Amino acid sequence: MYRRKGREEAKKLEEAIFSGEISKEKSDLFVSDVGKDLLIGKEKGYKTIAITHGFMCFEKLMEYEPDYIINELKDLLKIIPI
């Protein structure tokens, strides 16, 4: 049940990005724990950040060549200038 809901949400996000419903700013980052999402982010011109505490392991995420890879959300503070 949970996986199905996650897939539906991912599909809605993908549709919103491709339709232009979500506008992209130069400083926007695309964070995900799923390889397919990282590919979508790259295709739309975002800097991508893979996070390892979710769905996929480090090795699998690296196959999608994210711009950054982090282990926890708090690690974003090392990437995003405050």
| pTM for this predicted structure | 0.74
Question: What are the tens digits of pLDDT across the range 21-68?
Answer: 777 777 888 899 999 999 988 988 899 999 998 889 999 999 999 999
Is the CA virtual torsion 35, 62, 55, 41 positive or negative?
A: negative
pLDDT number for residue 80: 84
The DSSP H or E segment spanning 36 is: helix 35-43
Residue 74 has pLDDT above 50, yes or no: yes
Query: Which pair of tokens denotes residue 45?
Result: 């011109």
